Every structure is written in structure tokens, then in C-alpha cells.
Structure 1
Amino acid sequence: MKTEYNHLRVKIYDIFITTIWLVTFFHLAYFVLFYIIFIPKLIIVEIFSLFIYAFIITIIKKNPHSLKIASYVFQVEVTLHTIICIYTLGFGAGFELLFLAFVLVNLFISIGYASITKFLTFLQVVLFILCYYIIPDTDILSSFWTKFLYVYHIIFICILAIIISYMLELANRLAYLNIQQDRDKLKDISEQDPLTKLSNRHALQNFISENLVNKNFALIIADIDDFKSVNDTFGHSVGDMVLVRIANMLKNIFRHEDFVCRWGGEEFLIIIHDVDKNSAVNIVKRVSHMLNTTSFKHNENIIKTTMTFGISYYDGYSELDLQKMIKHADDLLYKGKTTGKNKIMLD
């Protein structure tokens, strides 16, 4: 999902650059057109606009993260350019269509901050209305050039509409991925133990329903022996360190498709699926052996820990009663605790 998200962001960036180049080309055509008609004021305006677009392209090329600033400069340039052209040439040459087209673009696609974009859109609408009522009609253009510019703007808006529709499709997909990422983050938060980063109790039912329907598996409840003495002797921060180290050990030993969660306190619940009883016991023996031969260092102190395990097994055929399995594993764990600890208990 992250790869697709980044790919879409790159695509939107590329389309924005393409749009800027397209608008730059149309401004170059304006320059030639106004030079032919000879309207000095608008020739100067077009030279200024071309410098603005050269500036926009330069800052984006140097720093892709400046896309928001570039979009605001772009909107301001379009607004000022359109007002000056309408003021000089009057309505009828199609600049008013261009004005409204970019207002709609702002409403549908926001590259920058929403509040600023809304303000600029509102300002553009207000300016358009003021232009309509304040700017007088002018006959500076002949009928031919008025119609030519009107058709020219229709063509430009059609091309822009194609680009914007594609950009809107990408923006919608990007918004969808944003929502999915937010949902995944919320799910991770709700189903993850904040200390050990293992799954928690809430994640168990989802794991069972998604992975263990009609499959054999071993359910293990493991408890750190004499963990209270670690907290009492060295403090809770050291106890937390031991919990995190053991959690990381469990994550490294068990497969990605297995389930390892912090069940509560110093207890862990583990599910190994697609294994027989002997294989499950051998895996747990490996965990126990690793713990017995591993020590945790704190300052000058060496902390050694062991665990007791209770194993409940499901064959994949009989009726599944998860709560009964958990209780059975917990009873076996308790039996191991009361008969010496550091044991693996299985019926």
C-alpha cells in the first residue's frame, strides 16, 4: 500500500508539472498573438507571466516539496492575468471561461492547504463578479480575433478538463489510500501492546477467524517465572526491559504466520498452526532452552529468567471452543508453576 501511495504522489507531481508546462505553452501563444494584434500592455503581461512560470518550474525542480507554494503562485498568476486580460479586452474573448474553469479546478483538487485554497477560490469568485459589473465593454478586438480567442480558450479548457479528470481520479485514489492507512494505524493501535509491540487480546479473535478455521494448531500460554522478584529487585523499568527482550525473542523464534501476543502482565499467548503435538512441543522446548541459556544484563547485574508453558492442542476436526482451550492451557500452566516452574506442560 505504501508503494502505491508513493507512486500516486509521484504521478500527481508529474501531472502538475505537465499542467504548468501546458499553461506556459499557452502563455507563449498569447505572447505571439498579442504581438501580432499589437497590444503592448498584454505583451508585457505575458512576458511577466512567462517569468512566473519559469520561477514555478525552477522551484519545483529544486525542491519537489515546494509543490504547495508553487500551486499558490500558480493560482495568483492565473487570477491576476485573467483580470488584466478581461479589463483590457472586455468580456467575449473567453477569458471569463478560463477564470471559471480554474475556480472549479480549485474546488475539486487541492494540492495545498484547504483553508487557503478555499479563501483563494472565494476571492476569485468575488473578483469575477466585480469584473462583470465594473469592467466596461470594449471594442479593442475585431470580431475575428474575439472569436479566435474564444475558440482558443474552449480548446484549452477541454485539454485542461482531460488532465484534471485524470488528476481527480488519482487524488480520489490517494484519499482512499490515506483512509486505509489511517484505518490500519488505528487497527494496529487497538490490537497492539504498546510496550512489547506484540499483538494483544483484542487481536486474537480476528486471527482465529482469519487463519484457523478447520486447521490444527497448538495454543500455548507462557508465563515468566518469578517475574515479580525482578520488578521488586531492579525496578519496573528493568522489568519492562526484560519483557521487551523476551517479546523480541518470541517474535524471532516463531513464524510470521503464527500468533504471539502479550496476554497480560508477564503472560504471553502463542498459537502455532499447522503443527502436530510433537512439533509444537519441540518448538516450545527450543524457546525454553534459549531462555535458559540467555541472560539480561543491567549495570553490573546479570538477570536470568525462565518460563513455564501450558500447551492445549486442537486437531482441526472437533468443535472449536477457544475459551475452553485457553482455560485448559492456563490450568496446565498453573500446574507447572506449582510443581517446580520452568516446565512444559501438555496432556
Structure 2
Amino acid sequence: MRSKKTLIACLLFLILFWSLSYLPRPTGYILDKDWTLTINNNTKEIELPYYQFPKRSGIAEFKTSFKRPKGNALVIPKISCYAFKVYINDFLISHVGDFDNPTANIWNYAQIIIIDDKILKEENELFIEAYLLDDVGMHIPPFIDSKEKVMGRISVFNFINNDIHLIMLGISLSIAFIMITISIFNKTHRKMYLCLGLSTILVALYSFDCLYRLYSGDMNTFLFARKMLFACCYGSGIFLIIGIEKYTKQTLKVRKLILLCVYLAIIIVMTSKDFIVLRSRINILNIIAVISPMYTIILFSKYKIAKFFFGTSFATLTLIYTVLSVALRAHTPYLFPYGIIVFSIGLGFEIILEFTKIYNEKIRIYKKSVTDHLTGAHNRNILEDLNMGIDDIFILIDIDNLKYYNDTFGHSHGDALLMEIVKVIKNHIRKKDFIIRLGGDEFLIILKDGSEAIAKDIISCIREEFKNSIKNRKVDISFGILRYQSDFESSYSQVDKIMYKMKAKKKYSNRNESSPDFNG
């Protein structure tokens, strides 16, 4: 089972990596050479892909030239900036974000720009003006191809790279709120469910950094929001470690050191004064985001908890991949958010599933403890859990001449008789009513929010159907009807007297049928 889950995780990782690498691949006229980049009046030649962390915020200008292309769609697969304008031959053909408040989150969204053929020449100049805050670059070269060839695959790419985060965000929050709800009612494992729920919520909040948006408020609001998102990412690790330790009932020696590092990372992030400082610190502190899941993965692996092998295997692959990508400065798809979100969803789902199994088992055991194994009616144990009031009606039933029936036809037939009376009773009462076998051939019907008139109609129908199904003149039922009194014992005692009064009348009467006395 472990190897199968690990294999599925590897397959999912490869599919995701292939999709985010293959779908935005440059085709047609590829614009990867002869670029110049100007930042703060400093111009240099570059080749794409290109990425850097500038020392201050400002405008970056990308320029290149190209011949008349065959296609009509300019695709910019992945540009790192917070607003940009695109010009061809000094004509503005696209404007993304707001240069007055450059707070757009556009790094993970491929732009398709339709080119008007009227502005094209034999020799053309492409100029991209980008507003940088903490980084700038193009991880995949722009290209020009026909709209029909690129629209489908770029749309799929944007769905996987952006929209799917919204789906995972919804799933994460749903799982988190379920775990927090469970923590309210489950005192034994309250801290575990609460911590894992909070960890999942913080991971979901961090995923907002992966969502495409054209505006994130003013600069100060955006800076605070970004600090909070990264703090959520690191903070989720604290709750994750505590929750998993409660689940496994195990800790590692490095636990205190890891938690201290996470606390320090949050403080360092929240005290960043601007985007440049925040980015420089995040580049170093990202290792903290890796440590907490790795701690959990080690715990699961050490104690061989197979049910979490899919999530832990996928997270391990994305974490190793992310570390290598950063170390090698590779222009590869950013998969870290997928890793931690899939891990959180998988972890939460498995724990909720486990809780559901335990809960269902407890329900099964409880139902067994309050159910009469022969007839399927409730037994006396159910009385401890019932809330009875003056609006409830008691109908106490006793089968007449059951001993005669057992002696004549055998106990197996007597058992069938008991099952038949319960079957008949269930045909005439509501789901909210109760049928309880008190012992032997004595049954108590509790009509919730009933009346004596309704009780009389119900017992008349039960008696008639039961006698018709048995077809034995000596077998009948005696019964008593009473509105619930102050407590169960006094109510039962009174309705028992009423029922035995009817039984006594029938016993000493020469008639086969007698009119029951409902009023005692």
C-alpha cells in the first residue's frame, strides 16, 4: 500500500511538472535573443530566460526587435513584475496592472495579446515596460504564434497554475473547518484537531499569494498583506508540528529548535520595512517553510504511518525539487505551494476519514447496546438517553397467551411472533417515535408529541393487523395508554396498571373480545 501511494504521488508530481513545463513552451516566433534590459538608467544585454533581485524598486525596460511574424498572438508566459505595458513599434497593445499602485499579482499567469496586423512592419520593436518591487525577469521567453494554436493550451496552463489554487483553497478551508468543528466536540483529541485545522487554514491563506489579481490595494496595504501571507506560511508549521505530535504521540529532539526558528522567521518577516528587504529575507527564510513539513514527514516515516504516505511523498518530492531549483537558480515551474497544499488536504482528509470511521464504529456499538437482537426494537438501555416530557404518550403492550403459543408451536415460532409484533408496530408509528422491548413479551411505545386520541387509533390498527397476521384466536395483545407524568418510573407504574386491568378483564371474561378501558 505504501509503495502504491508513493508511486501515485510520483506520477502526480511528474504530470504537474510536465504540464507546467510543456503547456507554456514557446512555439512559432520565439523572442529569446537580442534583448536589452534597462533598470534605473543602467542598460545591459540579456538572453531569456532571465531573473534578478534588484537593489531598489522602479521601472524595468525590456527591448528586442523581430521580423514580421506569421502569427497574430503575442504570448508572455511568465513575467515577474507588478504591472507592465507592452508596446510594438511605439503602439501600446496591452496594459496589465496599475503603475500608480503597482500591486498586481501576475507572475503566475500567461498573457495572450492579440496583435493588430496594421501596426506590424518588416522590422519591429517590442518594448515591455515593467514595474518592479522586489524582483524582475521573464522565466519563459515570449513568443508569437497563431491564436488558434496557443489559446487552448495557455488556457489550460492558466487553469493549472492559477485557478486550481482556488479549488484547493476551497477544499483546504472546508477540511480545516471540519477539523475545528470536530475539536469542539472531541475532548480527547481536541488540541490535535484544532492545531491541524488552524495549520490548514494558514496554508490556505498563504495560497492567496499564488492567485492572479490585478490590484491588491495601495503599496502599504500590499506590503503588509505579503508579510502576513508569508507569516501564515511559516506559522502553519507551528500548528502542524504540534498537531502531528499529538497524533503520533511522539516528538523529535530538534522540536524546540525548529519551533524557535519558525517564531524568529515570523518576527523577521513582519519587521521588513519594504519589498526589497522582505524579498531578501524571504529568500533566506524559505528554508523554514521546508523544515516544518520535513519534520512531519520524518515522524510519519519513522513510525511507518502508511495512510499519509501519498501526501508525505508528494510533499517530499516538491520540497526537494524546490530546494534544488533555488540552489541551481533554475527557471522551472514553482511547485512548492502545490506540495504543501496537497499535503495539508491529504493529511486533513485522512484524519477526518479516520475520525469518521471511529465515530461510525462508536455509533454501531451504541446502536447494538440499545437494540434488542431478536426483534430489532430498542431495549431498556435506550431509556437512559431519551428526553421524555408531558407531550409524550406511553402505550404499554403485552402479548396474551405467549406461553400457550410457545408450548403449542415451539419457541422458534414464539420468537417469530415477537418479531411480527415489532414489525407491525413499526408500520404504524413515526420515525421520531420509539418502540422498546422491556422484557419477554412486554413492549413500550413512546409517541413523541402525541395525544391519547392518536394513540387509540394507532393501537387499534396495530391490534387488528397483528391478529390478522397471526390468525390464532387465542393470541391477542393487552395494552394501556397514558400521558407521560413527572418521571419514567411513575408513568410506567401507572400505564402498567392500566394494561393489566385490561388483561384481567379478558382473562375472566367469557367473551373472546372485550372493549378496552383506555382511561383506567
User: Which TM-score band applies after superposition, normalised by the shorter structure?
Assistant: 0.5 to 0.7
Q: Structure 1 residue 293: deviation in Å?
A: 2.2
Greater RCO, 1 or 2 (C-alpha within 8 Å, sep 6+): 1
Q: Structure 1 residue 310: deviation in Å?
A: 1.6
Provide the rounded CA distance (Å) in 2 between the counterparts of 1:28 and 1:260.
60
Matched, 1:256 2:431: yes
Provide the rounded CA distance (Å) in 1 between the counterparts of 2:365 and 2:298.
31
Cα distance change, pair 289–162 in 1 and its aligned pair in 2 (3 A):
same
Matched, 1:329 2:495: yes
Matched, 1:117 2:306: yes
Cα distance change, pair 255–27 in 1 and its aligned pair in 2 (3 A):
same
Provide the rounded CA distance (Å) in 1 between the counterparts of 2:439 and 2:398.
10
Contact 1:309–1:345 (Cα < 8 Å) also in 2: no
Structure 2 counterpart of 1:305, from 458, 464, 475:
475
**Paired position in structure 1 for 2:385:** 206
Structure 2 counterpart of 1:241, from 410, 413, 416:
416
Q: Which amino acid aligns with 2:363?
A: D
Cα distance change, pair 272–287 in 1 and its aligned pair in 2 (3 A):
same
Structure number with greater Rg is 2
Provide the rounded CA distance (Å) in 2 between the counterparts of 1:188 and 1:241.
22
**Paired position in structure 2 for 1:339:** 505
TM-score by length of 1: 0.55
Q: Which amino acid aligns with 2:464?
A: H
Matched, 1:22 2:13: yes
Structure 1 counterpart of 2:347, from 161, 168, 173:
168
* RMSD across aligned positions (CA): 4.0
Contact 2:395–2:455 (Cα < 8 Å) also in 1: no
Q: Which has the higher helix share?
A: 1
**Paired position in structure 1 for 2:451:** 276
Cα distance change, pair 117–279 in 1 and its aligned pair in 2 (3 A):
closer
Q: Which amino acid aligns with 2:328?
A: K
Alignment of structure 1 residues 1-347 onto 2, 5 Å: 20-26=11-17, 104-105=296-297, 107-108=299-300, 117=306, 147-148=328-329, 155-207=334-386, 209=387, 212-213=388-389, 215-295=390-470, 305-314=475-484, 320-340=486-506, 344-346=516-518, 347=520
Contact 2:401–2:474 (Cα < 8 Å) also in 1: no
Bigger Cα displacement from structure 2, 268-277 vs 320-329: 268-277
Contact 2:325–2:332 (Cα < 8 Å) also in 1: no
Provide the rounded CA distance (Å) in 2 between the counterparts of 1:227 and 1:144.
82
Q: Which amino acid aligns with 1:282?
A: D
Q: Structure 1 residue 101: deviation in Å?
A: 6.6
Provide the rounded CA distance (Å) in 2 between the counterparts of 1:340 and 1:222.
14
Q: Structure 1 residue 253: deviation in Å?
A: 1.1
Q: Structure 1 residue 307: deviation in Å?
A: 0.4
Gaps of 5+ in 1: 1-15, 31-96, 125-142, 297-301
Provide the rounded CA distance (Å) in 2 between the counterparts of 1:107 and 1:333.
65
SS of 2:431's equivalent? coil
Contact 2:480–2:498 (Cα < 8 Å) also in 1: yes
Cα distance change, pair 169–243 in 1 and its aligned pair in 2 (3 A):
same
Q: Structure 1 residue 283: deviation in Å?
A: 1.8
Provide the rounded CA distance (Å) in 1 between the counterparts of 2:428 and 2:325.
80
Gaps of 5+ in 2: 1-6, 22-288, 314-323, 508-512
Contact 2:378–2:435 (Cα < 8 Å) also in 1: yes
Count of aligned residue pairs for this structure pair: 227
Q: Which amino acid aligns with 1:176?
A: F
Cα distance change, pair 103–24 in 1 and its aligned pair in 2 (3 A):
farther
Query: Among the aligned pairs, what percent are the same residue?
Result: 27
Bigger Cα displacement from structure 2, 328-337 vs 156-165: 156-165
Contact 1:291–1:305 (Cα < 8 Å) also in 2: no
